[in-house]
Amino acid sequence: MQKLDLDYFEIIIAYKSLTDDTYLGSIVDYIKPVFFKNKDIKSLFTIIRDFYEKRGTKPTITEIKTYLITDELKASLKNVVNMFNGIDKNLNNDELQANTEIFLKEKAVYHTMMDVVELALILRVAPLEINTSEFPSPRSPPEATVRVPPTIRVSPL
């Protein structure tokens, strides 16, 4: 299986979220704006998601424009809409669904791991110390090998 270009797929998600109410409804509970690397898509998707959660439907472009209160947000909408020029509008739904699942899984795992690392840094968790003397020698004959669980200690910084 080939890898998915997650950066390019962000454009497809943004397009489908603006044009397909069913698609947006199927992803809105699972996708977070932080999943988007592109800052323009992230900003726009935040508005789309907030609107959907409030109204239960996708916003129109006019409705989105009412929430563009800064020049940066206005530029984000323009940039995202310009990205749509390079994509096919008729997408295979099975492929779209499969790719969306890949995107969501990869982004969720990545951001969960980053949250764990950040938490570890905040809490100043030291690396694990593993006492390898409790492991059997790799050269021991198989019949003499006794399986002893390793002792793992977390030491404070």
Fold designation for 6-122: DNAb Helicase; Chain A (1.10.860)
Sign (positive/negative) of CA torsion 104, 111, 128, 155? negative
Tokens of 83: 């990205």
The Cα 37–Cα 34 span in angstroms is: 7
pLDDT score at 2: 72
Sign of CA dihedral 88, 93, 95, 99: positive
Cβ(87)–Cβ(15) below 8 Å: yes
Q: What share of the chain is helix, strand, coil (3-state, %, to 5)?
A: 65, 10, 30
Tens digit of pLDDT per residue, the chain (157 long)? 578 999 999 999 999 999 999 999 999 999 999 999 999 999 999 999 999 999 999 999 999 999 999 999 999 999 999 999 989 988 999 999 999 999 999 998 887 888 887 877 777 755 666 666 666 665 555 554 445 445 444 445 4
- What pLDDT is stored for residue 117 in this prediction? 79
Contact criterion met (CB below 8 Å) for 114 and 19? no
> Structural domain boundaries of the chain?
6-122
| 9-26 pLDDT, tens digit each | 999 999 999 999 999 999
